[in-house]
Amino acid sequence: MAESAGVQTFTAKEGWSALRGQWADRLSEAELAALDEATAFAVEWHGGQTRPAGEPYLEHLLEATRVLVEAIGITDVDVLRAAVLHDVVEDTACTLDEVRDRFGARVATLVDWVTKPPRPEGWTREQSRAAYLTRLQDAPADAILIKLADRLSNVQRLDTHPKPEKRGAYYNETIRAILPFATRHAWFHKWFDTWRAEFRHLDSTNTLAP
């Protein structure tokens, strides 16, 4: 973790092995072994995928998991495995049945809640995305925690996104659709409030923004 202009950031450049060692006093060896399996599965499916700013995809998955472990204190290994796997169905050819067969029904259910479904025929991208975010309102608490950690990882360095128009749209979507979920959790509420203020220059609806 690091502090950057007031916003606490979570990195995972050191990789899973380093995080595993850091969490040895938080999680049992059996729980860490379960995360070994989930991480290997994610690496297998995400392969050489990278994020928009060019970092390996695994870094994002581990950043989200690090938020849950180090900021929220989550030790429920099913929630942590679902965090590692939260994009595997949405962004690879892996199916939800494969996640269920390998990691059990609870992990698969959590992954399903945070997975954007294929766009229905005739729908715009915006309509499909809005439906996904609306559906999240009925998600169980553990799925919301994963979604908040996922979004935190995505926006903590939003200025590095290579498309300026995406920065503004994603900032505004986060304010509109994700911050209401953050109000349910004191730590996330505080973090996103700080982030909102620091990144307000990206607010495309604010005519006073530089």
Cα 182 to chain centroid distance, Å, stands at 13
Number of other residues whose CB lies within 10 A of the CB of residue 82: 29
* R_g of the chain, CA atoms, integer Å: 17
For position 1, what pLDDT does the model report? 66
Polymer length in residues for the chain: 210
Q: Report the CATH architecture of 2-202.
A: Orthogonal Bundle (1.10)
The pLDDT value given to residue 119: 86
Q: Are 128 and 116 in contact (CB under 8 A)?
A: yes
Which member of 90, 98, 112, 203 is catalytic?
90
Name the active-site residue from 59, 91, 198, 203.
91
**CA-CA-CA-CA dihedral for 197, 83, 62, 127, to nearest 10:** -50
- Residues with pLDDT less than 50, the chain: 4, 207-210
- Whether 78 and 86 have beta carbons less than 8 Å apart is answered as no
14 is an active site residue: no
Classified as helix, coil or strand, 50 is strand
Q: What is the pLDDT of residue 208?
A: 40
Q: Is 190 helix (H, G, I), strand (E, B) or coil?
A: helix
Residues 6+ apart with CB under 8 A from 142: 76, 78, 79, 82, 110
76 noted as active-site residue = no
Q: Are 64 and 83 in contact (CB under 8 A)?
A: yes
CA distance 149 to 69: 10
pLDDT computed for residue 121 by the predictor: 87
Given this model, what pLDDT does residue 209 score?
39
The whole-angstrom separation of Cα 162 and Cα 9 is 19
Long-range contact pairs involving 73-76 (C-beta distance under 8 Å, separation at least 24): 74/145, 75/26, 75/27, 75/31, 76/142
High-pLDDT (> 70) share of the chain, %:
95
DSSP state letter for 56: B
| Domain extent listing, the chain | 2-202
